[in-house]
Chain A
Amino acid sequence: MNMIRNFPLFTIVLSLFSGVLCTMLKGKTAKYYTLIYECFLIVLVFFVLWYTYRTGDSFTYTMGEFPAPWGNEIRAGVLEATLALSFLIIIFCSVLGGWKFLVVDVDETKVNLYFTLINLLTAALMAMIWTNDIFTGYVFLEIMTLTSCGLMIVREIGRTTLAAVRYMILNLLGSGLFLLGVVLLYDITGHLLMVPMQENIATMAGTSAAMEPVTMSLGILTIGLSIKSGLFPFHFWMPDTYGWSTPTSASILSSIVSKAYIFLLFKIYYRCIGIEVFERLPIRKILFILGILGMIFGSISAIRKSSVNRMVAYSSAAQIGYIYMGIGIGGMMGYTAAMFHILVHAVTKSLLFLTTPRLAEVSGDSLLFKNLQGSAHRAKDAGIVFLLCSLSMVGIPIFAGFSSKLMFALSAAQADNMKILFFTMSALAISSVLNALYFLRTVIRIYTEGRGGADISAHKLYEEEKGIRGVAYDMEDDEEEEETTLSKMEFRIPAAILIGMNLFLGLFSWYTVDLIQKGLEMFP
């Protein structure tokens, strides 16, 4: 039984080791190693979830011989384990589902480096989820920033390099602000570990003069992390980042990386500052307003796009808005809804980014709406998956999107504040209509009969669109490859898993909600 307490440490250290190991392996071996290793991690994290659920309490794990205020520490509870489990399953599915495109997009000699980056990202993700120390959070946040840039530039067309440079500049700005906030908090409280920091802040919460610097440093830290996760005024890096990278990267970046930052921010609110103190600060209201603005403006930007990937990317901005709105509403129910929506969005968005290239593939490798016409008939499985994901994003009952929207509404009703209730309800209504507008338009477009871009060769199309010949599309003499059962399975298995998770979150949402609420109770 005590063995299970070591598992969170294993997930971090073994992932770091696997990252280094993958540089020594050949490309294909690295892929199979990574897939098997992810399964192993899923088993480990599942045990942690089972253990914490059964004991009903979270456990802290001292890193080394020095106890809490002096050494590092990690801590595992039900909430952390739930998120880690779902994120790991999503990484597994993304790697499996995007493999076909990875072979084309990534040069043969660099495939092992790609899996190195994936493993390092897993390590950073695990560390950010388990950590009980704000500075450890910063260190692994750096690893996550660098790996996500690497995952983008690996495609090596000019567009991805440009997007990666933009992404990196914005992210470094975010990291810098986060570090400033951490330094100021350390100066005020004298601790980097979250629990002693919270105790220290609780003692000074009585006097308002001492709380001023705390509020300001927390504000700086919040701005830093909201730049990184793409909250409303900072969401303009999203379409380039997600729209041009290889499908595996796009699905991991959109569904996991930005959520990890949000979870770290939430952990800082809950555990470093203390939730009672945090609820009195004005930051919560600002997050609420920005979240609502993000929901609406993200959707409006998405409507105006002519490429499906950019549309899906902008819809991410709207979904991030939902999560911040949930944190802004506050209360047990609001935080539960926010955490639940993290899962919902991660499950849906990762699958959408795996599906759109399948639709594009049968339409002359073009993601433009005009060429996508009829693509659902040409790639039947991708069409069905896209339809199901769209229904979930819009919020049709039995899918996960509906449950999370219902929970946001319920949490607003419990907040005992007419203004919050009014704004939440209207934002939910407007956003759902806008979501339906652009997602169902795409669904109708792909199910309308027509050849679309199917007859255009990829090469010619690229020239037309960009005026120049792209490197990635340089294989003119390639014969049409027959899709084998294996490559079909490579898409269908992850799609089935993710849709299963989606339906589970939608139909049996109370299991997950129960887990999250149990987790939140032992979270502080």
Chain B
Amino acid sequence: MKNTFRRWLDGDIDLMEDITRTAHEHDMDRDEIKARKKKVSEIIRQREDAQSIILAEEKGFRIFYNIAAIICCAMLIAVLLYCVANLPRFGQENAQATVVTRRYIERGLEETGAVNIVSGMILDYRAFDTLGESHVLFTALVCVMVLLRKDWKNMNSKFEDYSSIRSDRYFQTEKDAILQTIGIVLVPCIFVFGAYVLLNGQNSPGGGFSGGAILGAAMIIFTSAFGFRKVDRFFTLKLSSYVTFVALSFYSFAKGYVFITGANGLDNHIPKGIPGAILSGGLILPLDIAVGLVVACTMYGFYSLFRRGSIGGG
């Protein structure tokens, strides 16, 4: 026992090894695992040696590199400062420069029906940009899924210790009293606040992106307090992809309809509503909801993928 303890202190053995052993390692011979690990560590050692030799050789280059980087940054800073100092003074020297903003401020409410001019601007005047922007988030989610979602390839990689990643599921902080108690109090409040910000985007600061971020944060807090198993019961990969699919295709087609009718000089029959009411601003509210759902799914998806390599179990 004492001997084992001594060896553990020295870092020779790992007491948790039995628990963290993965299913993949299970059906392999122990000796084979040991031999393979030894081989891998040997390779890693060799590579590190080679690396250190290269680093020593490249020391001169690295000094040059650092100096060059500093000079480049300093030059960029100087150019930008000079440029900003020479900008025409706002609204005075060039009256043309405020034509667009003036119209947004003066006639934004009348034309879009949204009290919050920013919402009116991003979802009505310049809705095409926002259509792209919401797909940027979706693209990022797809990229992270490509990289991190568990599959045959990255699970069978011999050079990464996947047991440490999988162990995250076994050592949950499910019994953490402080986190859970505060979670019970906070999470509903955050959800309600998120919904408020999301639904009130046309009348007050907020909207799809900020509301969705708050909802996503609430999901993350809930997950870290109560564990993935609780969340997996209602939030699966299927639900996530359906929500994203429906929200984004609704966005594309609703906006596509508005673009086509607008460009061809037709009336789009979307009521503007009474400014200040919750159902106002034409399409702004449904679009905000769609964007918010996508943002919430994306945030939770990132968290889940980074922590355990899947969305909604499996």
Chain A contact residues, CB within 8 Å of chain B: 2, 5-6, 9, 13, 16-17, 19-21, 23-24, 61-66, 69-72, 107-110, 113-114, 116-117, 120, 123, 127, 133, 135-136, 139-140, 142-143, 146-147, 149-150, 153-154, 156, 158, 161, 180, 184, 187-192, 200, 203-204, 209-210, 212-213, 216-217, 219-220, 467-469, 471-472, 474
Binds A, one of B53-61, B142-150, B184-192, B217-225: B142-150
Q: Is the CB of A471 within 8 A of B157?
A: yes
Please provide the chain B residues from 74 to 127 with a CB less than 8 Å away from any CB of chain A in the complex: 79-80, 82-83, 86-88, 90, 93-94, 96-101, 103-104, 111, 124-127
Q: Is the CB of B79 within 8 A of A216?
A: yes
Q: Is the CB of A66 within 8 A of B111?
A: yes
Q: Is the CB of B262 within 8 A of A65?
A: yes
Given contacts A69-B99, A109-B149, A200-B94, is CB(A17)–CB(B253) below 8 Å? yes
Q: Is the CB of B129 within 8 A of A20?
A: no
How far, in whole Å, are A9 and B126 apart by their CA atoms in the complex?
A: 15
Option from B127, B157, B241 in Cβ contact (under 8 Å) with A24 = B241
Option from A17, A62, A113, A150 in Cβ contact (under 8 Å) with B263 = A62
A512, chain B: closest CB distance, angstroms = 30
How far, in whole Å, are A219 and B80 apart by their CA atoms in the complex?
A: 11
Binds A, one of B21-29, B132-140, B273-281: B132-140
Given contacts A62-B263, A120-B139, is CB(A17)–CB(B145) below 8 Å? no
A260, chain B: closest CB distance, angstroms = 14
Q: In the complex, given contacts A109-B151, A191-B100, what are 9 additional A-B residue pairs having Cβ atoms less than 8 angstroms apart?
A: A16-B135, A64-B262, A70-B125, A71-B126, A133-B129, A135-B126, A136-B132, A143-B135, A216-B83
Option from A23, A108, A467 in Cβ contact (under 8 Å) with B245 = A23
Please provide the chain B residues from 286 to 307 with a CB less than 8 Å away from any CB of chain A in the complex: none
Q: 27 A-B contacts, Cβ less than 8 Å apart?
A: A2-B264, A19-B135, A19-B138, A19-B139, A20-B244, A20-B245, A66-B111, A70-B103, A71-B125, A71-B262, A109-B151, A117-B146, A133-B128, A143-B135, A180-B80, A188-B94, A189-B94, A189-B97, A190-B96, A190-B101, A191-B100, A200-B97, A204-B94, A216-B82, A220-B80, A468-B43, A472-B153
Q: Is the CB of B127 within 8 A of A150?
A: no
Option from A17, A24, A72, A153 in Cβ contact (under 8 Å) with B146 = A153
Residue B215 CB within 8 A of the other chain:
no
Residue B255 CB within 8 A of the other chain:
yes
Please provide the chain B residues from 253 to 282 with a CB less than 8 Å away from any CB of chain A in the complex: 253, 255-256, 258-264, 268
Given contacts A184-B87, A200-B97, A212-B86, is CB(A127)–CB(B132) below 8 Å? yes
Q: Is the CB of A150 within 8 A of B256?
A: no
Residue B52 CB within 8 A of the other chain:
no
Q: Is the CB of A213 within 8 A of B83?
A: yes
Residue B172 CB within 8 A of the other chain:
no
B141, chain A: closest CB distance, angstroms = 9
How far, in whole Å, are A69 and B101 apart by their CA atoms in the complex?
A: 10
- Chain B binding surface, main DSSP class: helix
Given contacts A17-B252, A150-B143, A188-B88, is CB(A63)–CB(B103) below 8 Å? no
Q: How many A-B residue pairs have CB under 8 A?
A: 202
Please provide the chain B residues from 207 to 257 with a CB less than 8 Å away from any CB of chain A in the complex: 241-242, 244-245, 248-249, 252-253, 255-256
Chain B contact residues, CB within 8 Å of chain A: 43, 46-47, 79-80, 82-83, 86-88, 90, 93-94, 96-101, 103-104, 111, 124-129, 131-133, 135-136, 138-140, 142-143, 145-147, 149, 151-154, 156-159, 241-242, 244-245, 248-249, 252-253, 255-256, 258-264, 268
Q: Is the CB of B259 within 8 A of A146?
A: no
How far, in whole Å, are A19 and B136 apart by their CA atoms in the complex?
A: 12
Contacts of B259 in A (CB 8 A): 9, 13, 63-64
Q: Is the CB of B153 within 8 A of A107?
A: yes
How far, in whole Å, are A320 and B82 apart by their CA atoms in the complex?
A: 31
Q: Is the CB of B128 within 8 A of A6?
A: no
Closest chain B residue to A142 by CB distance? B136
Given contacts A72-B129, A153-B143, is CB(A471)–CB(B153) below 8 Å? yes
Which of A64, A72, A120, A154 counts the most B-chain CB atoms under 10 A from its CB?
Answer: A64
Contacts of A127 in B (CB 8 A): 132
Contacts of A467 in B (CB 8 A): 43, 46-47
How far, in whole Å, are A146 and B133 apart by their CA atoms in the complex?
A: 12
Contacts of A23 in B (CB 8 A): 142, 241, 244-245
Closest chain B residue to A209 by CB distance? B86
Contacts of B43 in A (CB 8 A): 467-468
Contacts of B101 in A (CB 8 A): 190
Contacts of A474 in B (CB 8 A): 156
Q: Is the CB of B255 within 8 A of A190?
A: no
How far, in whole Å, are A53 and B47 apart by their CA atoms in the complex?
A: 60
How far, in whole Å, are A216 and B47 apart by their CA atoms in the complex?
A: 45
How far, in whole Å, are A204 and B136 apart by their CA atoms in the complex?
A: 36
